[in-house]
Structure 1
Amino acid sequence: MVDQDKAAKIRAGQGFVAALDQSGGSTPKALGLYGIDENRYSSEQEMFDLIHGMRARIVKAPAFTGDKIIGAILFEQTMDRQFHGKPAPTYLWEERGIVPFLKIDKGLEAEMNGVKLMKPIPGLDKTLERAKALGIFGTKERSVIDAANPDGIEEIVLQQLDVARQVLSHGLVPIIEPEVTISIYEKADAEVILRDVLMRQLDTLPVDQEVMLKLTLPEEPGFYSPLVEHPRVMRVVALSGGYSREEANSRLSKNPGVIASFSRALTEGLSDAQDDATFNATIAETIDSIYNASVGG
């Protein structure tokens, strides 16, 4: 059974979804942008301790509340840790009014048919049971589209829906993320194929089930409006995908009904060396800009 209080916040909440789910592969880059070089840690554990410290500092910032942020996506290790004396999902919901999600994918397969499918996710049922018990509301699973290949895009959506059904069976709401790479020449063509396949496959879900979608900001403003309005879609969120925050916000504001779910763009400008006043002021300004683009779109 989906948590109805959290579902109401996601459906009707004004704001955006913060992506705090950098995994092992993306953590060194995230730490580097935060001002922590690789010579500051000598093991994977130390690396994860440092990124957790960054996340704990972000969620404690006065501006990081449910007033402008409706959800936050966590890495599995973060879900199992604490924020300021409470389990991370509990802290987000009880102290901040923010709905917690969990990143469940384990990386990408090699490219085939212009796409990178998700690798197998071992032990997923047990992970979902644990997540549900910890108060997680939903999941996020990412795959990547590198070409306007109809067969590859169909395969990516079918795989995403298979995982989504497994997530739904645990009373959790999946965020389906078939990311279209922003640098590809045929990005607009890939978006046409993706939208059409998603519309068709979403119709196969039972009438009482809802998913969320996390999509690359499209070339054509309002392009994903049919998905925003689809009865099986709880919310459509957008990834920044390598765009600067300014560019991502500009594109987002032209897409009604779509809200942000930014990762790198959320932490842009933050530094380990900043004192708390500077750090908190910087992230408050960032949150305001992303919120305004989300609400204005």
Structure 2
Amino acid sequence: MNNEQLNLMHSGKGFIAALDQSGGSTPKALSQYGVEENQYSNDEEMYTIVHEMRTRIIKSPSFDSQYILGAILFENTIDRKIDGQWTADYLWEKKHIVPFLKVDKGLAELSNGVQLMKPISNLNELLDHAVERNIFGTKMRSVIKEANPEGIREVVKQQFEVGLQIFNKGLIPIIEPEIDIYSADKEKSEAILKEEIQKQLHLLDNDVKVMLKLSIPTINNFYSDLMSDSHVVRVVALSGGYSREEANEKLSENNGLIASFSRALSEGLTANQSDADFNTQIGKSIKEIYEASIK
């Protein structure tokens, strides 16, 4: 584990850029970027185009460690290069931005008001490969739709079990039990979720470190006691379907909570923008998310 990266993630000023759209969400991300499905004929072409989009974002002058602490990558991205360097090495060596890898394989069917992660069949090999590629940490997402105590307990238990496997490989897991922002009982789900997370943190050995990626809470600063737990490197927030403006507004009301935005980061970027327009747009987005993250 890289201690410089660990210290940066724990106490650096900035946010995490989520550039980890996977196979299922890539067509939608590309469509928002102005590239329609009839412009590529197979997955390989699709991933090449999305890597060009991510490369354009990463190489933008505003995509800088002054504002951005880390970036979450998709599995396909870590085996692609930017200017002749593996993407993770380019991020760290050229930009001083900490690389993470999304490791989950998507969501299982809804059961007990939640969607657990599908089994990650090749997790050991994937983690070994991540270590080879100089990845610092990982991210994996589950979804909570209802305040179902049994379902939420299962989500958190699964996240921490896999998280421990990840930590034992020398990587820092980002545990992401997302609560659907449109859930009718979101606030109740948050109370159950926090309690279950605290139980799991309590069971960890002293040296184990995790990060948490959570939906922005209904009650401001509701997760502040998780931030002070000795096992928690950082608590970050997902944008969860809010517009960038709304996500930033809510985020800025939660002290110490920093962004890990995906769609809210790339909002307004299109393939046919000139480099000047593209860099102006992403520069504005990055500064706004940064400001919301350091309040």
Q: Structure 1 residue 112: deviation in Å?
A: 0.6
Offset at residue 237 of structure 1 (A): 0.3
**TM (normalized to structure 1)?**
0.98
Give the equivalent residue in structure 2 for 1:184.
183
Structure 1 distance, partners of 2:248, 2:82, is 29
More deviation in 6-15 or 98-107? 6-15
Q: Is the 8 A contact 1:176 1:212 kept in 2?
A: yes
Alignment-derived partner of residue 210 in structure 1: 209
CA distance in 2, matches of 1:134, 1:38: 30
For 1:185 and 1:62, how far apart are their aligned partners in 2? 41
Q: Structure 1: which 5+ runs fail to align?
A: none
| Alpha-carbon offset, residue 143 of structure 1 | 0.4
Within a 5 Å distance, the mapping from 1:41-190 to structure 2 comes to 41-190=40-189
Deviation of 1:122 after TM superposition, in Å, equals 1.1
What SS class does the counterpart of residue 170 from structure 2 fall into?
A: coil
SS in 2 for 1:31: helix
Deviation of residue 140 (structure 1)?
0.2
Deviations 1:157-205 (A, max 9, x none): 0000000010011010000000000111101110110011101111111
SS across alignment from 1:203: helix
Check conservation: 1:56, 1:84, Cα contact below 8 A: no
1:262 aligns with 261
User: What amino acid is the match of 2:259?
Assistant: A
CA shift, 1:7, in A, is 0.5
The total of aligned residue pairs comes to: 295
CA deviation string 1:263-295 (max 9, x = no partner): 000000101010000000110000000000000
Structure 1 runs of 4+ with >4 Å offset: none
TM-score for the superposition, normalised by structure 2: 0.99
What RMSD over aligned residues (CA atoms) do the two structures have, in Å?
0.6
Q: 2: CA distance between counterparts of 1:133 and 1:41?
A: 31
Matched residue of 2:205: which SS?
A: coil
Aligned to 2:242: 243
1-side partners of 2:179 and 2:2: how far apart?
30
Q: SS of 1:269's equivalent? A: coil
CA distance, structure 2, for counterparts of residue 289 and residue 11 of structure 1: 21
The 1-side partners of 2:223 and 2:107 are apart by: 25
**CA separation in 1, counterparts of 2:230 and 2:12?**
18
Q: Deviations over 1:123-149 (max 9, x none)?
A: 211111111111100000100001000
Distance 1:27 1:191 in 2: 29
Residues 144 and 178 in structure 1, CA contact (< 8 A), matched pair in contact too: yes
Q: Secondary structure at the match of 2:219?
A: coil
User: 2-side partners of 1:220 and 1:197: how far apart?
Assistant: 18
Is 1:252 aligned to residue 255 of structure 2? no
SS in 1 for 2:143: strand
